Amino acid sequence: MSSRPPLSRRRALRILAAGVSIPLGVLALRRVRGQPQPVQWHGEALGAVAHMTLWHPDPGVAKRAMLRMQAEIARLEAVFSLHRPESELSRLNRDGRIGTPSRDLFDVFDQSRRIAEASGGAFDPTIQPLWRLYAETARSGAAPDPARLAAALRAVDHTRVSASRRAIRFDRPGMSASLNGIAQGYVTDRITDLLGNEGFENAVIELGETRALGHAPDGTAFTIGLVDPLQPHRTSRSVALADASLSVSGGYGLRFGDASRHHIFDPKTGISANRLAQVAVIAPRATLADGLSTAIYVAGESAAPALLAGHASTRAILTRADGTVLQL
């Protein structure tokens, strides 16, 4: 090897200049690119209004990612949609059994089983027969007939679902699963994870449930408005969300006939739960947040601390029927 010339002054200066020019070049490049830009998408996922907002310095990248996420949402719809007669879930509900379920379906059944057990059945993925009964009778505006209600209740029992990777099966006739919004949580989580995987660092994903990926681009948390349960066209408060999900349960959404009959049923009585006006749960993942908020809404205030304690980094905001608020 040829002998190295000594480190002369000129040489040292050159090295220094080169060392400085790269950071300077990087700074200049950042200038040219500017700040992350938001790109939005509005659409529908599993029958609910859906939004996604992605921030990225190159809007083209965000748009392409959005398209890919739509492809993924479409695929998940084919698994979970109750509106599609050919979805996996619809086929399971129709036949009472499905062989080699997709990993997605199995995962959701598995997670709902866990939350159902933890909540002593306050959250129950097999609530669909009740839902159907109420939807049918809602036309007349009356409460469902007690005999039919009892019959529907017999078909609601999360312990009668056997789910394995081989097959998912209902052990009683007439059972069917709605997955109770937890599927929305799953889709939300799935898309958020994919986006994180693609290198996105700031995003708000609302696919039935809300999840924030990272912070807002300015470094603060995202602010999400909570609907006022007593005046559902207004927001009562806002929640700061960063790298976390929010799920809100309240009976003011879909109603059957009169205001006390809504879509969140107590699986034990078959009657819409009305202990609390609203439950908002903040948890790391949307699937969990959804399961917990439904469970607390049904089981009531007293069950909340124990349910939350079972999971790290979860908190809840409960609104009682009289409008008073309890933060846990």
Instruction: Name the residues that contact other proteins, by CB under 8 A.
Output: 2, 4, 7, 11, 14-15, 17-19, 22-23, 26, 29-30, 32-36, 56-58, 60-61, 64, 67-68, 70-72, 74-75, 102-104, 141, 196-199, 201, 254-255
| Contact between residue 57 and residue 77 where contact means Cβ atoms under 8 Å apart | no
- The smaller minimum CB distance to other proteins, of residues 15 and 326, is found at 15
In whole angstroms, the minimum distance from the beta carbon of 127 to other proteins comes to 19
In whole angstroms, the minimum distance from the beta carbon of 320 to other proteins comes to 26
In angstroms, the CA 116 to CA 128 distance is 15
| Contact between residue 39 and residue 70 where contact means Cβ atoms under 8 Å apart | no
In angstroms, the CA 195 to CA 68 distance is 10
In whole angstroms, the minimum distance from the beta carbon of 14 to other proteins comes to 5
- The smaller minimum CB distance to other proteins, of residues 103 and 322, is found at 103
End-to-end CA distance of the chain: give it in Å, rounded. 71
Phi and psi dihedrals of 239, rounded to 5? -120, 135
- The smaller minimum CB distance to other proteins, of residues 41 and 123, is found at 41
In angstroms, the CA 270 to CA 301 distance is 19
Q: How far is CA 208 from CA 160, 231, 260, in A?
A: 27, 21, 23
In whole angstroms, the minimum distance from the beta carbon of 64 to other proteins comes to 6
- The smaller minimum CB distance to other proteins, of residues 32 and 312, is found at 32
In whole angstroms, the minimum distance from the beta carbon of 248 to other proteins comes to 19
- The smaller minimum CB distance to other proteins, of residues 36 and 121, is found at 36
Across 57-100, where does the E strand assignment appear?
97-99
Q: Which two tokens stand for residue 199?
A: 């290198």
Which residue matches tokens 């029992």?
A: 157
